[in-house]
């Protein structure tokens, strides 16, 4: 069985070892500083005598270091030099130790149990078995960061059989558990490498939360990952602040003000558009069976609004279309007296188009010319509606 050197020294970055097996896709050693995937934390990557180790896993109690086939030239008995990707390992230790602080405090303050933990190279998620309010989470985050600043010692030791103090664990009936203790904050069974003190975490931040299986799922960042995340956020908020001509801390009220102004502008624009369409309608003759109007540069929503405004006092159909002969025309068709949905197939077939909608309004496209469209609707009346 592989001797797990990281259990004695989580800061060990290199070690010499002997190859004891060469299973498919990797090698096994008599001892290793590489942490295999477990407890929600990914396995270490790094190198073994120049060969890249992409991941580390447990197989039947032994550690397998995954190596690409073309680089795996090792044989049983070879002496090798192992070196982990230390920056990545340290960031994961920061994150995992931060999670223990948060989970320990959630347990002691709110009687929450940690029922799920996952870490990737950017963020981590933690699941608790009960929901916490936003105010609860602010308190939890504040106390967690105070613990970081106070620099509590972190120790990792096999459980002393004489030690009857309680500890957290997701599993029952653990044999010879290894207990990670954060002085004055938490005791938890864990197989992963941890920091030696909370100050090395730097900062812990809850990024988001959501209801999950009757409890809550938190998304977190800690340490260097949190620093890099906030650098990106600060850069973007500064750029937005420059655009809005406000400080980054004043972006939210500035955006809300901009939204209200845009709503006001949009409302006034709609009023002016409706007034314009109503005035256009006043100049159109009312003695025709149908009303077919071509207006430039209208959006689908504007076409629909215009058609609905122009159907007053029209006995047949109202069609408003916009576009050009080369590119085709978008249209909206409505009527106060005719079920336009039943006419859609007849109209679109005659004008090489497509469309759909409800009984009172249909929208789509025509690929006919403007003259063809106007001629068609001028001739569509009376029993032609009934036969459609």
CATH number for position 54: 2.40.30.130
Of 95-99, 282-286, 306-310, 360-364, the poorest mean pLDDT is in 282-286
Q: Which two tokens stand for residue 291?
A: 């009303």
Q: What is the pLDDT of residue 283?
A: 86
- Do 198 and 129 lie in one domain? The reply is yes
Enumerate the β-bridge partners of residue 64: 57
Q: Which two tokens stand for residue 4?
A: 């797990």
User: pLDDT at residue 80 above 60?
Assistant: yes
- Do 232 and 121 lie in one domain? The reply is yes
Those residues whose C-beta lies under 8 Å from the C-beta of residue 324, and which sit 6 or more positions away, are none
User: pLDDT at residue 385 above 70?
Assistant: no
Q: What is the pLDDT of residue 379?
A: 87
How many independent structural domains does the chain possess?
4
User: What's the CATH number where 162 sits?
Assistant: 3.30.980.10
- Do 95 and 230 lie in one domain? The reply is yes
- Do 128 and 218 lie in one domain? The reply is yes
- Do 124 and 48 lie in one domain? The reply is no
Q: What is the pLDDT of residue 287?
A: 64
Last residue of a domain, one of 84, 102, 137: 84
Last residue of a domain, one of 186, 219, 240: 240
- Do 261 and 310 lie in one domain? The reply is no
More confident residue, 288 or 386: 288
More confident residue, 287 or 144: 144
The tens digit of pLDDT for each residue in 157-181 reads 999 989 989 999 988 777 889 999 9
The mean per-residue pLDDT over the stretch 307-324 comes to 92
Residue 264 domain boundaries:
246-283
- Do 114 and 206 lie in one domain? The reply is yes
DSSP state of 197: B
pTM (predicted TM-score): 0.77
Those residues whose C-beta lies under 8 Å from the C-beta of residue 350, and which sit 6 or more positions away, are 368, 376
Mean model confidence pLDDT for the chain: 93
- Do 236 and 143 lie in one domain? The reply is yes
Residue 192 CA: distances (Å) to CA of 82, 136, 219: 19, 28, 20
Those residues whose C-beta lies under 8 Å from the C-beta of residue 135, and which sit 6 or more positions away, are none
- Do 127 and 107 lie in one domain? The reply is yes
User: pLDDT at residue 25 above 70?
Assistant: yes
Q: What is the pLDDT of residue 382?
A: 61
The mean per-residue pLDDT over the stretch 207-230 comes to 96
- Do 66 and 135 lie in one domain? The reply is no
The tens digit of pLDDT for each residue in 197-217 reads 999 999 999 999 999 999 999
- Beta-sheet strand order (sheet of 178-182): 154-158, 178-182, 186-189
Model confidence band, residue 86 (pLDDT cutoffs 50, 70, 90): very high
- Do 279 and 290 lie in one domain? The reply is no
- Do 64 and 134 lie in one domain? The reply is no
User: What's the CATH number where 368 sits?
Assistant: 3.10.310.40
User: pLDDT at residue 306 above 60?
Assistant: yes
Closest CA to 195 of 10, 2, 380: 10
User: pLDDT at residue 342 above 60?
Assistant: yes
């Amino acid at each position: 069985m592989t001797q797990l050197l990281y259990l004695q020294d989580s800061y060990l970055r290199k070690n010499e070892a002997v190859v004891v097996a060469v299973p498919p896709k990797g090698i096994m050693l008599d001892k290793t500083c590489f942490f295999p995937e477990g407890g929600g934390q990914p396995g270490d990557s790094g190198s073994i005598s120049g060969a890249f180790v992409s991941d580390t896993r447990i197989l039947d109690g032994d550690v397998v270091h995954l190596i690409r086939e073309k680089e795996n030239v090792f044989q049983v008995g070879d002496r090798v030099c192992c070196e982990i990707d230390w920056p990545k390992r340290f960031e994961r230790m920061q994150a995992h130790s931060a999670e223990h602080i948060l989970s320990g405090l959630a347990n002691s303050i709110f009687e929450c149990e940690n029922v799920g933990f996952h870490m990737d190279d950017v963020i981590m998620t933690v699941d608790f078995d009960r929901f916490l309010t936003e105010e609860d989470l602010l308190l939890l985050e504040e106390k967690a960061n105070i613990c970081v600043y106070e620099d509590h010692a972190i120790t990792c030791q096999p459980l002393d059989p004489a030690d009857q103090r309680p500890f957290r664990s997701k599993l029952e009936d653990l044999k010879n558990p290894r207990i990670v203790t954060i002085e004055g904050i938490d005791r938890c069974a864990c197989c992963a490498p941890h920091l030696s003190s909370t100050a090395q975490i730097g900062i812990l931040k809850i990024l988001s939360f959501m209801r999950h299986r009757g409890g809550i799922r938190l998304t977190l960042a800690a340490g260097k990952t949190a620093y890099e995340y906030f650098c990106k956020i600060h850069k973007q908020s500064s750029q937005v602040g420059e655009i809005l001509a406000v400080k980054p801390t004043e972006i939210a009220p500035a955006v809300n003000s901009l939204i209200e102004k845009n709503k006001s502008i949009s409302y006034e624009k709609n009023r002016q558009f409706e007034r314009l369409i109503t005035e256009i309608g006043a100049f159109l003759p009312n003695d025709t069976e149908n009303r077919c109007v071509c207006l430039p540069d209208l959006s689908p929503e504007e076409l629909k609004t215009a058609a609905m405004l122009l159907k007053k006092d029209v006995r047949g159909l109202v069609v408003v279309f916009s576009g050009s002969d080369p590119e085709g025309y978008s249209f909206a068709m409505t009527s106060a007296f005719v079920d336009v949905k039943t006419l859609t197939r007849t109209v679109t077939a005659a004008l090489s188009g497509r469309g759909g909608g409800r009984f009172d309004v249909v929208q789509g496209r025509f690929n006919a010319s403007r003259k063809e469209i106007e001629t068609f609707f001028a001739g569509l009346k009376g029993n032609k509606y009934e036969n459609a």
